[in-house]
Amino acid sequence: MSVRPAVIIPAMRRHLGFGMTAQRDLEAVESARLGQRFEALGYDELWANDARLGSGLATLAAASDGTSRIDLCVGVIPLSERTTASIASEVASLGIPHERLVLGVGTGSSSSLALVREAVADLRTLLPDVRLAIAALGPRMCGLGGEIADVVLLNWASPERIAWARALVDEGAHAAERPAPRVAGYVRVAIGADADPRLTAEAARYRGRPRPYTRLFDAQQVDDRGIPGIATADPGAVPGLLEPYRTALDSCVVRALPADPSMEGWLAVAAAATLPA
């Protein structure tokens, strides 16, 4: 069986991204000129995950109005809830530039590697010029990402865990005789007097999810070593604290945990992450 090749990726360069949740009020996203403001701050990528609030693709389309260069990345669409045909149809209806789109998929409520493998093969046919990302928490998905993806997206990973995951991604790519994909990762950032409780509460929310996240936290000995991410009272400390993640990742994606959960709250964290070190 022939295998459709991955999209060719330019030479590796470290990127800074910002991650937001999908929004229902797309007019508010568009009027806030989020994409333009992130571009002005120097961000290379804007990520939005599918959520009950709305579509990640639709959120990116709304946020991208007036932008010219920032990559638009979905991280990720759950394959347990969406077909590849419906995903491709939404991409077409929204008119997102294919050269700026990174389309991420994950198992969702499933745990099937076969589901991801088949979906990526389908999407290579349906959207041949779009870069494809897969979400990876454990060793098997990291290896599969190295084998078939253009980007592997990590979550709740310490710099040490990122290095561990990258080795598995590289092994998968080597076995498939292809260049290793980019490794991206969400890094939670909380700023303010109650930053530590906010980071702890967000981690607890994920620990209440299906077992893969419980295994992920246990594997990193989070209770002893601390929660991956950044919590600080001082906005000026964020770039230095973020540096180990930026060094470990090809795309370091800031996921804001603002005290004010609004677009302006997100932008305040985004600005702190780009302050001079």
How far apart are alpha carbons 217 and 254 in whole angstroms? 19
Mean pLDDT of the chain: 92
Closest by CA to 133, choosing from 75, 195, 93, is 75
Domains and CATH numbers, the chain: 15-273 (3.20.20.30)
Using a pLDDT cut of 90, give the percent of the chain over it: 82
C-alpha torsion angle, residues 141, 142, 148, 153 (rounded to 10): 100
User: What's the mean pLDDT in 155-182?
Assistant: 98
pLDDT digits (tens, 9 = 90+) for 111-143: 889 999 999 999 999 999 999 999 999 999 999
Condensed to tens digits (0 to 9), the pLDDT of residues 69-88 reads 999 999 999 999 999 999 99
Q: Give strand pairing partners of 120.
A: none
Distance CA 175, CA 123 (A): 22
On whether the CB atoms of residues 140 and 110 are closer than 8 A, the answer is no
- Residues facing 15 on adjacent strands: 251
Residue 252 in contact with residue 13, Cβ under 8 Å?
no
Give the whole-angstrom CA distance, residue 89 versus residue 95. Answer: 10
Q: Are the C-beta atoms of 76 and 105 separated by less than 8 Å? A: yes
pLDDT for 211-266, tens place per residue? 789 999 999 999 888 999 999 999 999 999 999 999 999 999 999 999 988 889 99
